[in-house]
Amino acid sequence: MDGSSNIRAARIGELVGSRICHDLISPIGAISNGVELVGLGGGQMDGPEFDLIAQSVDSAAARIRFLRLSYGSAGHQTVSARDIRAALAGFSPEGRVQVAWQRDEGATRSVVRLVFLALQCLETALAGSGHITVATNERGANIVAAGENLRFDKGLWAHLDPAIGVPQEISAASVQFLLLGQLIEDGAVSAGPIETGPGRLALRVDTGPAPP
């Protein structure tokens, strides 16, 4: 597949991701509104079943916001820091991995998508609980993951840097490596160096090709 075909396939994937997320958020929002209206109308809302519904709806909405920014169309529109942090609530809804977004300013959607894909790559290395710090600028971010029992799967990370080893077959759970690797191959973004150490994994990602 040549470069133009790769770009076209990636664009189709972005549009499909945007369409799915857009269509799913509407019924989830409707359920949330319905639960709220029942409460406002004097309905019984203090049972565990309603707590479960409300928590599940909030979690699903946050997850869709995160996935839409990760896999949907990206451009130069600015996403506010508040909206970024709200979307990050859907990154690890169960709270296994905590993310600290250090910059108070917003970022373009292209930078947010890049960082969110990188976050999902780093998450695969955190076998248990962990913490990820994101320090962004106008072009990208330095991202550092810390946790016990860090796992560095060379076959996955080789999609971002072939010097690491032989890229392995990608499953749906690790598609972020394939997408981020394709962006790097096409020159749309650059990544590296990938730094590993005891309980630590760091990655630098930027929009645009790597400087000469």
- Specify the 3-state DSSP secondary structure of 126: strand
Residue type for position 21: C
- Residue 48 is predicted with a pLDDT of 75
- Residue-range domain boundaries for the chain: 1-73, 74-212
Q: CA-CA distance, 96 to 92, in Å (whole number)?
A: 6
Return the beta strands (E) in the chain as ranges. 78-79, 97-101, 107-108, 130-136, 140-146, 189-191, 195-197, 200-207
Report yes or no: 17 and 71 within 8 Å, Cβ to Cβ: yes
**CA dihedral angle for residue 151, residue 62, residue 13, residue 72, rounded to 10 degrees:** -110
Per-residue pLDDT of the chain (212 residues; tens, 9 = 90+): 455 555 556 666 666 776 777 777 777 777 777 777 776 766 565 667 777 877 888 888 888 889 889 888 777 789 999 999 989 988 987 788 999 998 888 898 889 999 999 999 999 999 888 999 999 888 889 999 999 889 999 999 999 998 999 999 888 888 899 889 888 888 888 888 899 988 999 999 998 776 65
Burial zone of 133 (CB within 10 Å; 0-12 exposed, 13-18 middle, 19+ buried): middle
Q: CA-CA distance, 79 to 63, in Å (whole number)?
A: 16
Tokens of 109: 């959607």
Q: What is the CATH number of domain 74-212?
A: 3.30.565.10
DSSP 8-class letter at 186 = T
Report yes or no: 113 and 74 within 8 Å, Cβ to Cβ: yes
Tokens of 71: 């896999």
- Residue 124 is predicted with a pLDDT of 92
Report yes or no: 31 and 61 within 8 Å, Cβ to Cβ: no
